[in-house]
Each structure stands twice: as structure tokens, then as C-alpha cells.
Amino acid sequence: MARRTALRPLARPTVPLTLFIAEPEDAGDGQRTRYQLMARPGDTILELALRHGIAIEHQCGGICNCTTCHVHVSEGPEHMSTPDEDERHRLHRATAPGPTSRLACQATVIGDGPVTIIVPEEP
Ligand code: FES
């Protein structure tokens, strides 16, 4: 007999999140495309972006083993998970890391928002 697994219902998307990213047509001119999204509590920034067809690089597949998903949380860091030791260690290898740096595959929405994310052109 097959084992039955209880599925958790997905949380409703209730957290406003603005994401700025340089699309290919923006490259080099300093402009970024603005996306106004609604995140579910528990979403990582990467999951949210990919669900909306927004291409944040994620070379390692989201296992905290590269820095290609480097982003900046410019508003609402208190609504995001705290970076663990692995993420902090990995961020030191990102291009121009700063106090707002996070890895999109590790940073999880935990609060009510709003949150603003900027994807740098050089991860
Ligand atoms: S995708 Fe590699 S660390 Fe996030």
C-alpha cells in the first residue's frame, strides 16, 4: 500500500516585494526593470523570482555554493531571515559585498514587508 503524505497548503502571497533587475535590454546603461511582486511567507527571493519568470542567476542550483544569486536587500531586511554562517561565509566571495548583501537562494521572506531587492549587474 502506498504511503500517504500530507501536503501543507501553500501560504497565500501577502508580502509586497519590489525587485529591480537589469534585463538584457538594460545592460550597461545603469537602468533596471522594476517588478512589483507578492511573496509568500517562506519564499526565498530566488523561488519568488523564478516563479514569476524573472531570471536571477543561480549557477549552483540554490545550494549556497556560488555567489551568482547575490542581491541587495535595500528595504525591509527585518522581514527576511537572518543569514546563517554558510551564507555569510559565501557572501565574502561575492563581487562588492556590502551590509545589505544576501544570497537570493538563502534569504527567506518571514515578515509582512514591504521588501525591496536590487540585483547587481555583477553578482
Ligand atoms: S544559487 Fe548558488 S549560492 Fe545561491
Q: Tell me the pLDDT tens digit for each residue of 48-74.
A: 999 999 999 999 999 999 999 999 999
Q: Is 62 in the pocket of ligand 1 (CB under 6 A)?
A: yes
User: Residue 50: CB within 6 Å of ligand 1?
Assistant: no
CA dihedral 82, 95, 34, 99 (to 10 degrees): 40
Show the domains of the chain with their CATH numbers.
Answer: 15-118 (3.10.20.30)
Per-residue pLDDT tens digits for 9-53: 778 999 999 999 987 776 667 788 999 999 999 999 999 999 999
3-class DSSP assignment, residue 90:
helix
How many other C-beta atoms lie within 10 A of the C-beta of residue 92?
A: 9
Query: Are residues 12 and 2 in contact, defined by beta-carbon separation less than 8 angstroms?
Result: no
The strands making up 70-75's β-sheet, listed across from edge to edge, are: 33-39, 15-21, 115-118, 70-75, 101-103
Kindly give the distance from the C-alpha atom of residue 2 to the centroid of ligand 1, in angstroms, as a whole number: 35
More confident residue, 102 or 31: 102
Q: Is 14 in the pocket of ligand 1 (CB under 6 A)?
A: no
CA of 66 to the centre of ligand 1 (A): 5
Buried-state track 51-86, b at ≥16 Cβ within 10 A, e below 16: eeebebebeeebebebbebbbbbebbbebbbebeee
Q: What is the pTM of this model?
A: 0.89
Residues 36, 40, 44, 48: is their CA dihedral positive or negative? negative
In the structure grid, which three cell numbers stand for residue 11, read together? 501560504
Between CA 64 and CA 87 the distance in angstroms is 6
- 105 Cβ below 6 A of ligand 1: yes
